Structure 1
């Protein structure tokens, strides 16, 4: 089992998702070579790491991310909802995570947007990535094709990827039209035919989100190049150890 382990929103099964606590915990794990995160814009244009369009679920605040200034987002507690021991964790700026992860792990940066909700989001993320010369250390992904097209227009050197939760018949055509070289797909849609098709087209595939050890091993058996996105890097490690022991038992 050589499949790359991608920590979904950091080590989010233990620490509060998309916080520095979760990301730092993930980076301490030798099996984690990639991390996935979600980025939106504050009202004053700061790229911030948070999944939901509102702050309601993962902080002690209320309201839309895009209607809240960065100074106000910084004041919110983004940890106590998960566990009292994480009280005081904050919503990170993308810049902070890039600074801490540079040279340690690669990043799957999801542009969290719908339609024209965040017209300045691609440019803002690209600015932070280029500022740190991390173009080769990231892939920028989104459910929103227009956002990916904008990324390639502004930064053709950065890898982009489409996120989907189904498998349309014209998938490869769509990926080629957007110049995507990465596919992030819900794991139940992965099989050998998909992997063969994507490999032939030079497209890397990541399956999300897999926390079950048995499913991890089944997916690993489909293709060793399939990346596995998980909230549980510790379960990935168990799956790896069990698979390795089966092949290398004396």
Structure 2
């Protein structure tokens, strides 16, 4: 049982999430074949890799990501909060992460937005990924159905994925309605029946965020096609690669 290992925001268990340090640490593990990252837009329209809508938690800056231009954002420290060894890590551009991952890792790129927070986010990401010739190396995911529809309208060749974390509703039906080929779902919401149905329909499924060996084993026993998204790819390695 070797369910695919997805590094959540890079190797974020040991390095500051969504930084080049976390990406490089994930790349250094030969069994990591996918990585999940989060993308937003700076005020001047640069796609950047950061999770929160504000800068406060993961940098020494303050305020909303959408209210800062790229160059001032680059001067922020996005690593010290995790440890002195990471002092000076920066908020990376999506382009930097794409350049590191190209030909080495597939990417689940979550478009972080709410409502009309980021007009043009879909186009900026589509254009950048396309310019790198990486369309087949990524899946673009979102909680927002409108985002997923706009991606398909702008370029139907892109793989899209729904992120689902509701106690109610039918994720399999929603994925089909949105013409998605991928479901990103909280591991607590994934059942054997749903996993089997998705696999039969050819839908890739990723369970997040799974850091304990016990849960990794449970998901692997549930279905071999469940991708395991984890902050701790080293735990995945210990769990599935033991002699």
Q: Which residue does the alignment assign to 1:248?
A: none
The alpha-carbon distance between structure 1 residues 92 and 107, as it changes in their structure 2 partners (threshold 3 A), is same
Query: Partners in 2 of 1:241 and 1:17 — Cα distance?
Result: 25
Query: Partners in 1 of 2:230 and 2:15 — Cα distance?
Result: 13
The answer to whether the 8 Å contact 1:79/1:86 transfers is: yes
Does 1:213 pair with 2:213?
Answer: yes
The offset of 1:192, in angstroms, is 1.3
Query: Partners in 2 of 1:192 and 1:164 — Cα distance?
Result: 16
Q: Which residue does the alignment assign to 1:240?
A: 240
The offset of 1:132, in angstroms, is 0.7
Query: Partners in 2 of 1:26 and 1:169 — Cα distance?
Result: 34
For 1:46-90, what per-residue CA distance to the aligned partner results, in whole angstroms no more than 9, with x for missing partners?
000000000000000001000000011101000001101100000
Q: Which residue does the alignment assign to 1:45?
A: 45
For 1:137-183, what per-residue CA distance to the aligned partner results, in whole angstroms no more than 9, with x for missing partners?
00000111101111111111110001011354432222112111100
The alpha-carbon distance between structure 1 residues 122 and 222, as it changes in their structure 2 partners (threshold 3 A), is same
Query: Partners in 2 of 1:171 and 1:45 — Cα distance?
Result: 32
Query: Partners in 2 of 1:201 and 1:146 — Cα distance?
Result: 23
Q: Which residue does the alignment assign to 1:175?
A: 175
Q: Which residue does the alignment assign to 2:127?
A: 127
Q: Which residue does the alignment assign to 1:139?
A: 139
**SS of residue in 2 equivalent to 1:10:** coil
Q: Which runs of 5+ in 1 are unaligned?
A: 246-250
Q: Which residue does the alignment assign to 1:80?
A: 80
TM-score by length of 2: 0.98
Query: Partners in 1 of 2:170 and 2:79 — Cα distance?
Result: 41
Q: Which residue does the alignment assign to 1:21?
A: 21
**SS of residue in 1 equivalent to 2:241:** helix
Query: Partners in 2 of 1:22 and 1:170 — Cα distance?
Result: 34
For 1:204-233, what per-residue CA distance to the aligned partner results, in whole angstroms no more than 9, with x for missing partners?
100000000111011101101100000000
Q: CA RMSD in A?
A: 1.0
Q: Which moved more, 1:168-177 or 1:133-142?
A: 168-177
Q: Which runs of 5+ in 2 are unaligned?
A: none
